[in-house]
Structures are given as structure tokens and as C-alpha cells.
Amino acid sequence: MNGKNKTLLIIAIIFMAFNLRSPITGVGSIISIIKTQLNLSASSSGIITTIPLIAFAVVSPFVSKLSQKYGSGHLMFYALIFMAVGIEIRSFAGTAGLFIGTAIIGIGIAVGNVMIPSIIKSEFPLRIGMITGIFTTSMSILAGISSGISVPLSEDVGLGWKNALAIWVVLVIVTMLIWLFQWNLQLKGKNQFGNDSPKENVYKSSIAWYVALYMGIQSFLYYCFVAWLPTILQAKGINVETAGYYASAYQIVAIPASFVVPLLAVRRKNQKLVTGTISCIYAVSIFMFLIANSTMIIAVSVLLCGLCSGGCISLAMSFIGLRSSGAGEAAKLSGMAQSLGYTLAAIGPFIIGSVFDLFHSWNIPLTGLIIMAICLLIVGNKAGEDVTI
């Protein structure tokens, strides 16, 4: 692939990244509006954010096989079609459509989640840190914008929550046009998809399990905040629109970490120090949020949590390339990590909502998130070891 084609591929990766979080993160800021209009319970509202994660978990193991059958470029284009259809169904097919459309969106996103790290390993094996940083930074940018503009679009502009969420189909269509230039893209490199499939070894590998658990715990934390941060902020006395801006800040502050952390990680023999530092800050930040009784402490804790979430997702994606020795292995590890990882993550928003329904307090759910951050520290220490599958 020549320089011009590499540039086009990077642009395609960036635009795909734009679509891998924004259709979901925008829901969190207006979940209270949706909950009221559709008369949903807190736990049912949590399921809205959980559904895509279940889709990630179910679909991810099959993505590498689908890539074999249809080709990476074809598969990515089909995934975008799923996203576009799902976005429209979610907004305009009633209460049932809200859940069904969200599931369809999740299927499309799952393909992108798995394929992008393996494409990076295949096409940019010597620039994993840089391209992963660009990829995760692009996700963070649009995730933050989505969280921040949902309430203004819905209430100030007068679109209502349905149109505020449906508007993201425009970005999906633009991305589809860009991916047409990658229609014939195929993974290449060592152990692409030969008969000596590494699948069995991946599931027997301890490092693969640690990477999967790291992916899961950081996703558990991230999606709990995406789903419930605005609601928790409102419980602390912050109005709904300001809470949306806080949620946007949580996403946006992740941007520098998303870009810088992979660059730092790939320059070290192992990533133990990097992941350990981030996990410790994460745990302290959530504790600050738990005890916060002033706007200043709330703001600082939210920003620190966002910074850590950006560092964690970029590390999780980097681990897929760093812990595998070829594009095929990266695809298998990516499918495993995201399937098992998002299985763990999927229960997060539902548990948080259910625990709140039971105790009518956010203190216990936040304490649980502190414990998960400590678990992230332990698992990250193993996932950061300098070994490959």
C-alpha cells in the first residue's frame, strides 16, 4: 500500500472511530428525558446503554470469520449500514424500536471495534502506538461532542430526543462514502487466517485473558459513567443541561490521554508503570467524586476520571497489537478481548441502575466503581507484561 493509500486508510479509520462511540454516548445526557417520556424505570434505562455491550460480546467472536468470508473492506461497509438502520429504528419505531435499534447499532459498532485494531496491526505494524492514538482520540472527540450537544439539540434547538439521536445518521453516511475507497481491503501479515489458526492458543493464553479482563474492567467503568454520570450529577444538585456539559467534558478530557498514552506505552519494554499509574489515579478520582460536596471537587474528579478513561481505552486497544505477533492473531485476540471484555462491561450500567433502585443512593454504586478501579490495577499489571501470543 503506497503513501496515498495509507493516508486514505488513516482517514477511513478516523471516520470509523467517529461512529464507534457517538451513537451511544449521546444517550446518557438525555436518558432522564427518554426515561420520563417513555415511562422507563432506572434499571430499564440502564439497559439502553447495556444493549450495545451485549451486542459487542455476542458478535465480536465471529468478526474475524466474517472478515475472512467477505473481506475487511466489505465487512466495514456492511457494519456502517447496520449503524445507519439502527439509528433510525431507535428514534422512530417507538419504545420497542428504542431497544431493537440500539441492538442493531451495537452489531455495527462491534465489527468496527474488532476490525480496527487488527487493521492497524496489519497495515501499520511499526506505528501501532501512533495510529492507535489517532484512532482512540477520534473516538473520544466525537463521544464528547455527542454527550455535550444532545441536550441542546433536544431542548434548545427543539429537535426532541428522537431527532437529536437520529441526526448521527448523517455522519454514518459520510463514513460509508469514505470506506468505499477501502472496499477491497484485506488483512495481511503473519498468521493472517491460515489453517494454523491461533484461535485455540489465544483462549489458552493467560496473557490473552488478562488483556480481555483489562478491556472488560475499563469498559465497565467507562460505560457506567456514560450511562449514569449526568444522573448522578443531577442528584448532586447540578441541573440537567450543566450535567450534560460535565458529561461532555468527561469525554473531551480523554482526548489528550487517548493520544499520548499509546505513544508512551509502545516506547517501554512493558506497560506496567503506565497502567499502574492510570489505575491508581482512577481509583482516587472516583473516591473524590463519591465524597464531593462542592462544585470544584466534582469538576476535578470528573475531569480526572475522563482523563483516566481515555488512557485506559487506548491502552486496551494497544494491548491487542502489542500482545499479538501478527494481524490474524490480533484479529483473534481482538475478538476474544472484546467479547469477554464487553460481557463484563454489559452488566455495569444495569447493576448500577438496579443498585440505585434498591438503595436510592449513589454511594454504594460509586464504592463499587472504586473497587473495580483497584481490580483494573491488578489486571493491568499482568496485561502489561512484555509477552506475545
3-state secondary structure labels for all residues of 298-335: HHHHHHHHHHHHHHHHHHHHHHHHHCCCCHHHHHHHHH
- Across the chain, mean pLDDT equals 88
What is the predicted pLDDT for the residue at 196? 42
CA dist 10 and 328 (Å) reads 20
Looking at residue 384, the DSSP 8-state letter turns out to be T
Identify whether the C-beta of residue 244 lies closer than 8 Å to the C-beta of residue 45. Answer: no
Domain extent for 47: 3-185+197-383
What domain count does the chain have? 1
Domain assignment present for residue 279? The answer is yes
Domain assignment present for residue 389? The answer is no
Domain assignment present for residue 192? The answer is no
Domain assignment present for residue 321? The answer is yes
126 burial (CB, 10 Å; 0-12 / 13-18 / 19+) is: exposed
Identify whether the C-beta of residue 380 lies closer than 8 Å to the C-beta of residue 214. Answer: yes
What is the predicted pLDDT for the residue at 293? 85
What is the predicted pLDDT for the residue at 199? 45
Question: Which positions of the chain have pLDDT values less than 70?
Answer: 1-2, 42-43, 46, 188-201
pTM: 0.80
3 state SS for 101-155 = HHHHHHHHHHHHHHHHHHHHHHHCCCCHHHHHHHHHHHHHHHHHHHHHHHHHHHH
Domain assignment present for residue 388? The answer is no
What is the predicted pLDDT for the residue at 189? 53
Q: Where residue 85 sits, what CATH number does that domain have?
A: 1.20.1250.20
Domain assignment present for residue 160? The answer is yes
> Phi and psi at residue 189, in whole multiples of 5°?
115, -175
